[in-house]
Amino acid sequence: MDVDKYTASAYAEDNVSSAEGQVDVTSAAYRRMPESLRNLSNDEIKLLNKKVVRKVDFYILPTIGILYILNYIDRQNLAAAKLQGIMEDLHMTTQQFATAVSILFVGYLPFQIPSNLIITKISRPGMYICFAVAIWGSISASTAAVKTYGQLLAVRAILGVAEAVFFPGAIYYLSAWYTKVELGKRIAGLYIAQQVGNAFGGLLAAAILQLDGVHNIAGWQWLFIIEGSVTVGVGVICACIMPEFPHNSRILSQLERDIAVWRIESEAGAAEGTENESTLRGFGKALCDPKLLLLICCNMLSQAQGSIANYFPTLVASLNFSNTISLLLTAPPYILAGIVYYVIMFYSDRKNTVYPLIIVCISIAICMYIIPMATLNVGARYFSMMILPFSSVGPQLLLYKTINLHLARPISKRAAASALVNAIGGTSNIWASYLYYQKPHFYAAFGTLMGCAFLFAATITVYRWLVLRENQRLDSGEPEKIAKVIKGGVTEEMVELNWRYEMY
């Protein structure tokens, strides 16, 4: 069988450029091909590949998407509760409310790392993720019972620990199933679900808050009760749907499992469930990779910009609309963001590029930060709020795609790197929560975010220089230079497969 012809045909459905759709199938990759696939024709393998991708999309994407919607609704409902009197009922100051927002990340950030190391050793990662969903739904619902500021802090801190499982676990889980020409659009789907959660979270909150006083329960209490209870139920249902890893998935036949594993192995030399690398060794390799430090810094600066999501209802309320109208006005920016996310990642997958898209988003965000600081015009300010969600958060999608393709192997290294970037980078959410004061201009917030944007652009440019230098070393064919690349994080299997850092 002409394996190179299969490579071109198997990925034709993605309509990608010749650069991005190619898996360099050398003799090493061919030796990995299971016997069950070697007897199939090119057309049969192409159809089988399409069938596997469609089936995985059907089971994984809607399930992960729904869970992420609930994740963001449960995380952001405190911002909506602020508009319905939770600060007055619990006698909180503005600074105390900021602490209540940021303390979630005290538990959320450090627990991501051990959670992502654990998930690589669990045969049913979907069950593990869904179990965490049910737990955080229960904790979120219990927020309705708090009577003091101290109790709210305790519940929020515990909620962060439970939610730590989901996002880095979901990113790692997707990268276990999808190739480099497929992963970008699937990460975009995850972020689109986030924006749906943000958009309809405001609409849902506006509706639930109308229950204020029913059965002598405050509207903000109804908000936590209803949204938390729904999360628990959906988490239990999704646990029965989400598949395992490609090598042991119950939704695939044995032949489909073979191609699901091989198509991942053909890119970087190993697939989930086929490596014997220890978890701690993979974690150590992640820490020794110099690229990881730059990606952590980039994500820290990017997540600082993305902190506007935690205070978006407050920003919109500064336009002096009623609380209900303010919640309704939070929906259109997030709907637009979801559309733009898909366009960005579709273009990224098709053209095999990331760096220019990040720079464009950063440039747009800088312009949008200036508007609310410079004018009180309602139309201009709301225009900036329409644009900011996608321009400030968009680079994060591209960063996670970079992490999972540039730090691909060993598997435990990729899981650790993804968690480290998200955990350490996410610390910016803690200090950024204290910036949103001095309305309506919010000088401290937008001025700081603008500075972060400039630093982000500089740091990602340094990262680009680093990976291009590594590619030059790989292209040289000189053993000494290739040894330096291997020391920097590329495995010998990846070198044998003619692997390169792409998209930059």
- HEC assignment per residue over 260-314: HHHHHHHHHCCCCCCCCCCHHHHHHHHHHCHHHHHHHHHHHHHHHHHHHHHHHHH
Place of tokens 């309320």: 317
DSSP code of 491?
-
Q: Is the N-terminal amide bond of 440 cis, ω within 30° of 0? A: yes
Q: Find the Cα–Cα–Cα–Cα dihedral 182, 184, 187, 193, rounded to 10°.
A: -100
Q: Mind listing the domains of the chain with CATH numbers? A: 42-270+277-496 (1.20.1250.20)
Interatomic CA distance for residues 260 and 257, integer angstroms: 5
Q: Furthest-apart CA pair in the chain: how many Å? A: 76
CA distances from 377 to 168, 318, 334 (A): 39, 11, 21
Tokens of 102: 């940021």
Q: Are 392 and 305 in contact (CB under 8 A)?
A: yes
Q: In 4-135, at which residue ranges do the beta strands (DSSP E only) sit?
A: none
Residue 124 CA from chain centroid, whole number: 20
User: What SS3 class is residue 462?
Assistant: helix
Nearest Cα to Cα of residue 494 among 416, 401, 413, 409: 409
Q: Are 37 and 52 in contact (CB under 8 A)?
A: no
Mind listing the pLDDT tens digit of every residue in the chain (504 residues)?
444 444 444 433 343 333 333 334 444 555 567 777 777 777 888 888 888 889 988 988 889 888 988 887 777 788 778 877 888 889 888 888 888 888 888 888 788 888 888 887 787 888 889 999 999 999 999 999 999 999 999 999 999 889 888 888 888 888 888 887 787 788 888 777 777 766 676 677 778 878 877 888 888 889 899 989 999 999 999 988 888 888 888 888 888 888 888 887 776 555 555 555 666 676 777 777 778 889 889 989 998 888 787 677 778 878 888 777 877 787 788 888 888 888 888 888 888 899 999 999 999 999 999 998 998 888 898 999 889 888 988 898 888 888 877 876 667 777 777 778 877 877 887 788 778 777 788 888 889 999 999 999 999 999 999 889 888 888 888 888 888 887 777 777 777 777 788 888
Q: Find the Cα–Cα–Cα–Cα dihedral 279, 191, 294, 406, rounded to 10°.
A: 60
Q: Are 390 and 57 in contact (CB under 8 A)?
A: no
Quickly list DSSP for 352-415: TB-HHHHHHHHHHHHHHHHHHHH---HHHHHHHHHHHHHHHHHHHHHHHHHHHHHS-SSHHHHH
DSSP code of 490?
-
Nearest Cα to Cα of residue 394 among 449, 454, 354, 435: 354
Question: According to the model, what pLDDT value does residue 73 have?
Answer: 78
